Amino acid sequence: MVSNHTQNGTFGNLTGPAGDGSGGPLSPILDWFGEPEHLVWARIILTALTLVAAYILARLTKGYLERSARTTAEQRRFDEWQTRALISRTKPIVIATRMGLGILAFILLLGVWGLTTGFVSLLTAAGFAGIIIGLAAANSIGNLIAGFMIFYNRPFDIGDWVEIDTVEGIITDVRAGATFLETWDGEKVTFPNRVVEGTRVKNFSHQRKLRRRFAVGVDYATDIAKAREILLDLIKGHPEVLKEPEPMVIGVAFADSSINLEVRYWILPLRASALRIQTWLMQEIQRAFAKEGIVIPFPQRTLVHRFPGADAPEGETISRLAYDPAKDDMPFPAPPLDPPTDVSSTHAKQESKKVFRNFFGAR
């Protein structure tokens, strides 16, 4: 009987007994699909409807995420490049949604085609395969999980100035498995997301202000109070240096050749501004110190070379050696000092001959 089959078949739960009209207007259609010879067509149609529904849901999810990203970009006044980069960060969620909908559709279709019993065996086999694959791809899975954590915690955004594991630069992209950074030297650096999640990340762009500092050495004969006054006047006179917190100049060390002072000031968190301000300050400090007669010292050494010579007692020649670390060049010897006038060249020649005889005699 049709009624018995429809109660036990694919559409049995959608219709009542045949002829009672409890199925409403769709009852004839459902009864037709419930016939054994029409059951295959019913399953094909349900398969198509399930796949179409999964596709539509995936498209709706992607559209919603992209609209949300564009709204966020407009609120933060991102440019077009930053907007595209932000939209690219929604890709992991879109991929995960598609995978979830695909798995759900697959399970539903197994029920439609009556393969649920075989599906249990398939799940068991897939479980063992998943364990093997998981062990082989532990790093990749770890990167994916870390990528979702980064997307959730949002320690940085596209275009932020950051420092990751001592590498400093601009974030150019964040994907499911890796984070991409461009250094100030133009180098492209790729960090696995598990490394980013497990290390310290400094985000300079998220700070409202940034402190900068550098050292200045002055001669021991310098009036420290006067040097500090000159430095503070220069720092406070720069328009890009913030008034609050107030700039500072402190003494940090009595070094071998100088008294070291440290300049500290606050600026807006912009890399270009930081370099430009520091360069300007160093130039002006050198000019101001030179004008006031304040010396920025550098190490000096006096070396004594002992070797057989023609015009020195016991083969001794003295030369001076100066080294300027600011220029970062090699030391250069000054002309040798004049030897004492009471030493004759004959004595030096005799010493040279003695060395010559001893050398070849020993061989």
Three-state SS string over the chain comes to: CHHHHHHHCCCHHHCCCCCCCCCHHHHHHHHHHHCHHHHHHHHHHHHHHHHHHHHHHHHHHHHHHHHHHHHHHHHCCCCHHHHHHHHHCCHHHHHHHHHHHHHHHHHHHHHHCCCHHHHHHHHHHHHHHHHHHHHHCHHHHHHHHHHHHHHHHCCCCCCCEEEECCEEEEEEEECCCEEEEEECCCCEEEEEHHHHHHCCEEECCCCCCEEEEEEEEECCCCCHHHHHHHHHHHHHCCCCCCCCCCCEEEEEEECCCCEEEEEEEEECCCHHHHHHHHHHHHHHHHHHHHHHCCCCCCCEEEEEEECCCCCCHHHEEEEEEECCCCCCCCCEECCCCCCCCCCCHHHHHHHHHHHHHHHHHHC
| pLDDT (0 to 100) of residue 3 | 40
| Calpha distance 246→261 (Å, rounded) | 17
Fold of 156-203: SH3 type barrels. (2.30.30)
| pLDDT (0 to 100) of residue 257 | 85
CB 223 within 8 A of CB 282: no
Q: Going by CATH, does the domain composed of 210-292 fall within 3.30.70.100?
A: yes
| pLDDT (0 to 100) of residue 35 | 65
CB 162 within 8 A of CB 181: yes
Residue of 31, 27, 28, 33 whose CA lies nearest to 49? 33
Q: Tell me the pLDDT tens digit for each residue of 154-203.
A: 788 888 889 998 899 999 988 878 899 999 888 999 998 888 888 888 88
Would you kindly state where each structural domain of the chain is located, as residue ranges? 35-136, 156-203, 210-292, 301-362
Q: HSE of 85 in the Cβ direction (CA atoms, 13 Å)? A: 18
Q: Tell me the pLDDT tens digit for each residue of 218-248.
A: 999 899 999 999 999 999 999 889 888 899 9
**Residue showing tokens 């990528």:** 147
| pLDDT (0 to 100) of residue 216 | 93
Residue 221 vs residues 32, 228, 233, 260, 297: alpha-carbon distances, Å = 107, 14, 21, 13, 11
17 prior amide bond cis, ω within 30: no
| pLDDT (0 to 100) of residue 102 | 83
Q: Are strands 161-164 and 167-174 parallel, antiparallel or unpaired?
A: antiparallel
How is domain 35-136 classified at the architecture level of CATH? Answer: Orthogonal Bundle (1.10)
Low-confidence ranges of the chain (pLDDT < 50): 1-19, 21, 23, 310, 312-325, 328-343, 362-363
